[in-house]
Amino acid sequence: MFKIKKLLNIKNGYIRCYSWNSDRSILSSNVNNNILIYSLNINNNNNDNEEDEEWILEYELCQHDRMVTSLDWSEKNNCILSCSEDKLACYWRYDQATRRWLPRITTVRVSKSCEQLAWSPLGNKFALTTAENTLMILFNTGESDHWLSHRFGPSNSRVRAIAWNPVNNNMLACGNARGELYIYNAYISTVDRLLPNKIGNFQLITKMSDSATDGFIQSIAWSRDGVFLAYSSQASKLTIIQLLSQYEFKIIATIKLPTLPICDMIFKDNSKELIALTFDYQLLKFTYSPTTNQWSITDIVDSGDHLFHPKIRYYHEIDGEQYYSIQSSIDGCLAIISI
């Protein structure tokens, strides 16, 4: 079952995107074209032996001119990425001496807005999508903190979702508006360790395509162990594929949903359970059976709220229960739920 533990109200309107730091004690979120950084302050209440949590605004980062569309906070290098409708992607590094977040504008060179970005597992490069059907990898040359971009992939359709394999710094999955899933080798010799590659740099590992009636791919998620990859389409369908070897994948489940399409999803730590949010405000739980090698829906709960640009993120494990954060509504709240 799902249950709401608490609501975090950051009191600044709806959240388009947000991201946690590594220990979930600091939250970054957008308000229009600015980025707000909140820190967690815990007050001990000796009267009832409870702890009151208060989120305090520490910084407001003002570098973008238009709506911030995506944020990602690396657990490896403690740096924040942001991109915006102003066609810019920024790399934010915290300077201990001045106690300020310092921006570095990366070299993107696009004519339309930047839409999504994601750090690689090791935090030494990141993927970026734009409204001009561009997929690119940006990496640091090591000279004056300068970031370069490399474009690759098909340009015949808009990239709707991206996700890195959490245990493979070179495996990137993306889904586009034609219902096509691509998995690429995103190895970069200047930043990655020298690994034996049977497939060349920025080459396609595999491609999977839904029928023309299934619509675009809305969301992609890898399991924590990197074995399973799930992607959802606008036809209210969830597909799960399994990594059999280094470059071999197999579809093991195609599930027709009794709800509207999935807008975001995440695997639990055990990689045997998948939690999904739908456009009609449902929370779905999918469970894997090792004996039958099948996935199935095991729980459906109405969230009771109208989600807007919903994103689900891992929060904490408390007393054996895993908690996740979800944008609960357009009033600037994050719901912390246990699953």
Contacts 24+ apart (CB under 8 A), 99-108: 100/59, 101/37, 101/59, 101/61, 103/61, 103/63, 104/145, 104/147, 105/63, 106/138, 106/147, 106/149, 107/138, 107/146, 107/147, 107/148, 107/149, 108/136, 108/138, 108/149
Angle at the Cα of 35 (from 32 to 41), degrees rounded to 5? 125
Query: In this predicted structure, what is the pLDDT of residue 239?
Result: 94
Q: What is the pLDDT of residue 276?
A: 92
CA 291/CA 166 separation, integer angstroms: 25
* CA separation for the pair 237, 286 (Å, rounded): 13
**pLDDT on residue 49:** 47
How far is residue 79's CA from residue 140's CA, in Å, rounded to a whole number?
13
Whether 209 is in a domain gets the answer: yes
Q: How many CB atoms sit inside 10 A of residue 89's CB?
A: 26
Using an 8 Å Cβ cutoff, are 230 and 238 in contact? Answer: yes
Confidence category of residue 293, pLDDT binned at 50, 70, 90: confident
Q: Is residue 4 part of a domain?
A: no
Whole-number Å distance between alpha carbons of 199 and 87: 32
Mean per-residue pLDDT over the chain, rounded: 84
Q: Which pLDDT score, from 0 to 100, does residue 54 have? A: 76
> What is the per-residue pLDDT for 318?
67
- pLDDT, one tens digit per residue, over 209-261 is 765 557 789 999 999 999 999 999 999 999 999 998 878 899 999 999 999 99
**Residue-number span of the structural domain to which 211 is assigned:** 10-262
- Alpha-carbon torsion angle 306, 307, 312, 318, nearest 10: -30
pLDDT value at position 143? 64
Structure tokens at 205: 């590992």
Contact (Cβ atoms closer than 8 angstroms) between residue 12 and residue 32:
no
280 within a domain of the structure (yes/no): no
Highest mean pLDDT among 40-44, 180-184, 200-204: 180-184
Residue 289 lies in a domain: no
Residue 306 lies in a domain: no
Of 240, 185, 233, nearest in space to 210 by CA:
233
CATH value at residue 243:
2.130.10.10
Asked whether residue 314 is domain-assigned, the answer is no
Cβ neighbours for 329, distance < 8 A, ≥ 6 positions apart: 14, 305, 306, 307, 308
312 lies in some domain: no
Segment 52-74 mean pLDDT: 90
Instruction: Give the count of domains, the chain.
Output: 1
271 assigned to some structural domain: no
What single DSSP character describes residue 281?
S
